[in-house]
């Protein structure tokens, strides 16, 4: 495969940072971005081009940054929508503004960056769009409603996008990591809303304490994950000679939870088959 040019959001730590290092080690070119340029100075020293990009900025500002990015190497082949964070708290404790902010980064930011790159990919009739979703795009765990909501929303939007754009030769890869050791749950990056309601107080606090204990103790090795992501895009290593699926769960916890949810869903469809299939108008035939 020829040398690819990657544009990545949220490169100051975690997946974005390690992806940048790994992609460079494979001989591809990277335009690493972050909302604070000084936080990715080390990636510039490692050989990446760097640009400032806050995914919550207005569409025009993001279009301008993407145009600058395209000008660096003359093209973008792979865009990785990686920037994101977690807001944790009970439904009743989350302020509307916190919910909006969560969706602004994890959903609307992704939409803006993707819309800025898409005309370029359509024009050259090639490219890959990678979206870092989550196990939280499958399972709504308690006290992470805003985060799960944002990743479920992302999954639906990206599934539609994938079907709209495959005719242009553009590939879409929706990556769903389980729990990986990054800065996601660090005190600086995790947004929490402590409960003001006594009914939730104990469970909410236990959840936040659990997240704090898990900070940088997660089972997933991010180095292993980024190698797999690059293999999937480049169709090398684990993906050599294989059809790469649109949706790709990553991690042992992800495997078990998704399997359980699929089995539960199949069980529900089987158990309630007759009721589910009993609501059509009498004069409606399936061939309509
Ligand atoms: N680690 C996991 O267990 C896990 C599991 C499933 C999914 N994910 C997903 O993986 C992605 C990367 O997270 P991570 O685990 O690598 O955590 P991380 O180490 O906290 O990295 C998140 C990155 O997103 C950036 N970011 C946040 N808001 C931004 C904004 N408005 N504009 C641009 N960049 C922004 C942060 O930059 P600043 O330094 O500027 O804050 C940081 O570089 C996220 O989408 C997350 O939801 C992670």
CATH of the domain at 77: 3.40.50.720
SS3 string, 18-71, reads HHHHHHHHCCCEEEEEECCHHHHHHHHHCCCEEEECCCCCCHHHHHHHHHHHHH
Task: Say if CB 106 and CB 84 are below 8 A apart.
Answer: yes
Q: Atom 40 (ligand 1): residue with closest C-alpha? A: 35
Instruction: Supply the residue whose CA is at minimum distance from atom 20 of ligand 1.
Output: 184
Q: Give yes or no: 85 in active site.
A: no
pLDDT, residue 286, reads 64
177, β-bridge pairs: 250
Q: Assess contact for 77 and 126: CB atoms under 8 A.
A: yes
Q: Say how far apart CA 189 and CA 186 lie, in whole Å.
A: 5
56 lines ligand 1 (CB under 6 A): yes
The tally of CA atoms less than 13 A away on the side-chain side of residue 152 is 10
pLDDT of residue 287: 59
Domain that holds residue 75: 5-88+95-190+220-273
3-state secondary structure of 174: strand
Structural domain includes residue 283 = no
According to the model, what pLDDT value does residue 285 have? 74
Q: Are 178 and 253 in contact (CB under 8 A)?
A: yes
Query: Do residues 6 and 29 lie in contact, with contact meaning Cβ atoms separated by under 8 Å?
Result: yes
Residue 215: the pLDDT is: 95
Neighbours of 285 (CB within 10 A): 7
Catalytic residue among 73, 147, 200, 255: 147
The reported pLDDT for the residue numbered 284 is 84
Angle of CA points 98, 132, 193, to nearest 5°: 20
Atom of ligand 1 nearest to the CA of 220: 3
pLDDT in tens, 27-79: 999 999 999 999 999 999 999 999 999 999 999 999 999 999 999 999 999 99
Query: Does the beta carbon of 9 lie inside 6 Å of ligand 1?
Result: yes
Report CA(277)–ligand 1 centroid distance (Å): 42
Instruction: Number of helices (H) and strands (E) in the chain: give both, helices first.
Output: 10, 9
Q: Give the pLDDT means over successive 10-residue stretches in the chain (288 positions).
A: 95 98 98 98 98 98 98 98 98 97 98 98 98 98 97 98 98 98 97 95 94 96 98 98 97 97 98 98 76
Residue 84 Cα to ligand 1 midpoint, Å, equals 4
- CA Rg value for the chain: 20
Give 99 Cα–ligand 1 centroid separation in angstroms. 17
Looking at the domain assignment, is residue 157 inside a domain?
A: yes
Determine, yes or no, domain membership for 285: no
Classify residue 115: in a domain, yes or no: yes
The dihedral of CA 78, 52, 82, 180: what is its sign?
positive
Asked whether residue 196 is assigned to any structural domain, the reply reads no
Cα–Cα distance for residue pair 20/43, rounded to 1 Å:
7
28, part of any domain? yes
In contact, 134 and 120? CB cutoff 8 Å = no
Q: Contact 46/30 with Cβ under 8 angstroms?
A: no
Residue nearest to atom 16 of ligand 1 (CA): 14
**Rounded Cα–Cα distance for residues 111 and 9 (Å):** 12
What is the 259 CA–ligand 1 centroid distance (Å)? 26
Split into its structural domains, the chain has a count of 1
Asked whether residue 200 is domain-assigned, the answer is no
For a mutational test of ligand 1's pocket, the pick from 7, 8, 14, 102, i.e. the residue with the most ligand atoms closer than 8 A to its C-beta, is 14
Please identify, by atom number, the ligand 1 atom nearest to the C-alpha of residue 135.
Answer: 6
Write down the pLDDT at residue 192: 95
In a mutational test of the pocket of ligand 1, which residue from 130, 147, 182, 254 has the highest number of ligand atoms less than 8 Å from its CB?
Answer: 182
Domain assignment present for 284: no
Q: Which residue has the tokens 């998704």?
A: 258
């Amino acid at each position: 495969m020829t040398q690819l040019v990657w544009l990545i959001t949220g490169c100051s730590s975690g997946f974005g940072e390690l992806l940048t290092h790994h992609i460079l080690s494979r001989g591809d070119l990277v335009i690493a971005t972050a909302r604070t340029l000084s936080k990715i100075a080390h990636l510039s020293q490692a050989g990446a081009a760097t640009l400032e990009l806050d995914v919550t900025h207005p569409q025009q500002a993001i279009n301008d940054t993407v145009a600058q990015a395209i000008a660096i190497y003359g093209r973008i082949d792979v865009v990785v929508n990686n920037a994101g964070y977690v807001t944790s708290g009970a439904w009743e404790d989350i302020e509307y503004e916190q919910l909006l902010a969560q969706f602004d980064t994890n959903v609307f930011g992704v939409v803006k960056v993707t819309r800025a790159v898409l005309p370029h990919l359509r024009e050259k009739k090639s490219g890959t769009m990678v979206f870092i979703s989550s196990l939280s795009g499958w399972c709504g765990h308690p006290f992470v409603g805003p985060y799960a909501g944002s990743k479920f929303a992302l999954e639906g939007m990206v599934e539609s996008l994938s079907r709209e754009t495959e005719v242009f030769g553009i590939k879409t890869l929706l990556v769903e990591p389980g729990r990986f050791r990054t800065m996601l749950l660090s005190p600086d990056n995790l947004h929490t809303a402590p409960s003001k309601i006594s009914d939730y107080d104990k469970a909410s606090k236990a959840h936040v304490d659990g997240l704090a204990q898990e900070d940088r103790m997660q089972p997933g090795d991010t180095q292993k994950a980024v190698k797999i992501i690059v293999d999937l895009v480049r169709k090398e290593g684990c993906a050599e000679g294989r059809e790469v699926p649109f949706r790709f769960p990553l991690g042992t916890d992800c495997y078990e939870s998704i399997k359980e949810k699929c089995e539960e869903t199949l069980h529900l469809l089987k158990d309630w088959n007759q009721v589910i299939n009993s609501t059509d108008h009498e004069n409606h035939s399936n061939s309509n």
